[in-house]
């Protein structure tokens, strides 16, 4: 219970920050024409054969036209909650037909500690459409190498957590064939994520 109470506090704080940011930043982002995205990288499909604990995801498929993957971990103190709050705000900023074509994934870089059930619960705190995944260590290594995801375990002396995970913070946009089409860096404004979703869906 203590763990999940901590999650609730962190999530509410992150969401409150995003709402405040949006309230004071009402000016629309400039719309810049962007050429059709080239394929940045290709992920072997077997690396995405990860079943979520709620059974909503069993691998990439043509049921969705676009996937957004974010890599983090449930004990992350700040970056992950903020990024997932931004993703949640972005999902609320697109139309229902666009949301139907999209699947958001929160993929743990700490599978030793993050069980599939924990990742699912954590992701759902931010938005019901975000699916939490806990890959096997070999799958995580393959995904990170294919997509350019950085993560490193860092020991924390004299702490109950024992270690933390340093990682980069990007939203990875992937099609059903496992092709990386774009990535958006960590941001406090959901508009760049919304813009990229709409741009890529219009091109697929």
Instruction: Summarize pLDDT for 18-64 with one digit per residue, the tens.
Output: 444 343 344 444 444 445 568 889 998 889 999 999 999 999 999 99
Q: How confident is the model at residue 78 (pLDDT cuts 50, 70, 90)?
A: very high
Long-range Cβ contacts of 144-151 (<8 Å, 24+ apart): 144/71, 144/109, 146/41, 146/42, 146/43, 146/44, 146/47, 146/180, 147/41, 147/43, 147/69, 147/172, 147/180, 147/183, 148/41, 149/71, 149/109, 151/71, 151/109
Dmax (CA) of the chain: 52
More confident residue, 167 or 4: 167
Q: How far is CA 124 from the centre of its chain?
A: 12
pLDDT of residue 202: 95
Whether 68 contacts 171, CB under 8 Å: yes
* pLDDT surpasses 60 at 5: no
How confident is the model over 139-154, as a mean pLDDT?
96
* pLDDT surpasses 90 at 12: no
CB-based burial, 176-204: b 16+ in 10 Å, e otherwise: bebbbbbbbeebeebbebbbbbebbbeee
pLDDT of residue 13: 46
Whether 44 contacts 178, CB under 8 Å: yes
pLDDT of residue 37: 62
pLDDT of residue 192: 97
* pLDDT surpasses 50 at 195: yes
Determine the structural domain holding residue 167 and report its residue range: 2-203
Q: Please tell me the distance from the alpha carbon of residue 113 to that of residue 134, in angstroms, as a whole number.
A: 9
Whether 148 contacts 81, CB under 8 Å: no
More confident residue, 116 or 20: 116
How confident is the model over 112-121, as a mean pLDDT?
97
The enclosing domain of 6 has a CATH number of: 3.40.30.10
* pLDDT surpasses 60 at 65: yes
Its pTM stands at 0.83
DSSP classification of residue 54: T
- Counting the structural domains of the chain, the total is 1
* pLDDT surpasses 70 at 4: no
């Amino acid at each position: 219970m203590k763990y999940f109470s901590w999650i609730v506090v962190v999530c509410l704080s992150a969401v409150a920050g995003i709402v405040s940011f949006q309230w004071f930043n009402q000016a629309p982002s400039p719309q810049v024409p962007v050429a059709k995205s080239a394929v940045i990288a290709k992920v072997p499909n077997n690396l995405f054969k990860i079943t979520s604990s709620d059974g909503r995801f069993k691998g990439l498929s043509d049921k969705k036209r676009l996937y957004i993957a974010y890599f983090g971990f449930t004990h992350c103190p700040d970056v992950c909650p903020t990024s997932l709050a931004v993703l949640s705000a972005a999902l609320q900023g697109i139309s229902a037909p666009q949301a139907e074509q999209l699947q958001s994934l929160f993929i743990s870089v700490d599978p030793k500690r993050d069980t599939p059930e924990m990742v699912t619960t954590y992701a759902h705190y931010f938005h019901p459409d975000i699916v939490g995944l806990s890959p096997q260590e070999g799958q995580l290594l393959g995904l990170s190498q294919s997509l350019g995801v950085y993560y490193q375990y860092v020991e924390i002396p004299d702490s109950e957590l024992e270690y933390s995970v340093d990682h980069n913070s990007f939203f990875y946009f992937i099609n059903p064939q496992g092709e990386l089409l774009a990535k958006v860096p960590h941001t406090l404004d959901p508009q760049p994520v919304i813009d990229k979703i709409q741009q890529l869906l219009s091109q697929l």
